Structure 1
């Protein structure tokens, strides 16, 4: 087992799926790089898979930046007052202060990577 805060290599199968607060209907994530899994101090790196109709509620981050990279499936993403279809190979950048939400409106799982930095909102 790797010491937290040290360099590490982990396999995705080592981290359990979990449903974080504000995520509903089978919106599951694996916290692959996170203070609790690796001891990271600046990054939260997750893979998420949302079943059809699953979603994260609309929310905003005061100081955090986020990147969503859609790996498979399709859904709808709210960014501010705009709603857009997102699908495989879309990369979404969200600066601080941007209200956003994502939901799976497709027929199969919506799978994506989420990178957040810094770890906490101010």
Structure 2
């Protein structure tokens, strides 16, 4: 039996050093973007009232993991509202309209995992 090994490049990043970019109307740190076409990892740190505008990823699934704070997400064509808080994870299938907003008086921090990570989101 022949086993082929691929050499992988491990990356370790101090998230505090990642530049904040304005994406979909909100501040996002693109921690691992453009490294692999299989996954994109970003963190959003939203002040009260901030968030990401409604958007879709036509061919990519997304997972939100709430690290800190509270807010709301709106999911689907009917924009159904869900309350989110630290420790909660959401799976959003490809092609699903979604947005997130910090509706609290403190910061909202959310980790975003998008796979595959090659396509840019489409704002709707």
TM-score, normalised by the number of residues in structure 2: 0.82
Aligned partners of 1:14 and 1:78: how far apart in 2?
30
Residue 6 of structure 1: aligned partner: 9
Cα 1:88/1:12, change in 2 over 3 Å: same
> Partners of 1:33 and 1:89 in 2: how far apart?
22
Gaps of 5+ in 2: 1-7
Residues 63-102 of structure 1: pairs in structure 2 closer than 5 A:
63-80=59-76, 81=78, 82-102=80-100
Match of 2:28 in 1: 29
Rg: which structure is higher?
A: 2
What do the CA deviations read for 1:47-89 (whole angstroms, capped 9, x no partner)? 1111100121111221110000001111110011210111111
Aligned partner of 2:4 in structure 1 is: none
Count of residues in correspondence between the two structures: 111
Instruction: Report the secondary structure of 2:16's partner residue.
Output: helix
Q: SS in structure 1 opposite 2:83?
A: strand
Q: 1:8 to 1:89 in 2, by over 3 A?
A: same
Could you tell me how far apart the structure 1 residues matched to 2:66 and 2:14 are? 20
**Any gaps of 5 or more consecutive residues in structure 1?**
none
- The answer on 1:41 being equivalent to 2:41 is no
Alpha-carbon contact 2:67-2:110 (below 8 Å) kept: yes
